[in-house]
Amino acid sequence: MKAPLEALLTVDFRSDGPNTELILRHDHLTNPVTATHLKKGAWVKTLDQLELV
């Protein structure tokens, strides 16, 4: 059985000239496996896929 996941995800959008900077911050991760996965770049891979949409 998987451990439950609780977390706080904060998403900030900041203007950067003609671009928009996206800042994701994960806090209070209760599942250590998920925390490790996120630290290894899970969000980077996910956000890279947005370019394909």
23 is a domain residue:
yes
3 is a domain residue:
no
Check residue 14 and give its pLDDT: 96
Residue 28 CA to residue 46 CA, distance in Å, equals 20
pLDDT band, residue 28 (cuts 50/70/90): confident
Check residue 17 and give its pLDDT: 95
Q: 34: burial class by Cβ within 10 Å (0-12, 13-18, 19+)?
A: middle
16 is a domain residue:
yes
Res 39 pLDDT > 90: no
Residue 23 CA to residue 12 CA, distance in Å, equals 5
Domain that holds residue 44: 8-50
30 is a domain residue:
yes
Number of domains in the chain: 1
pTM: 0.62
38 is a domain residue:
yes
1 is a domain residue:
no
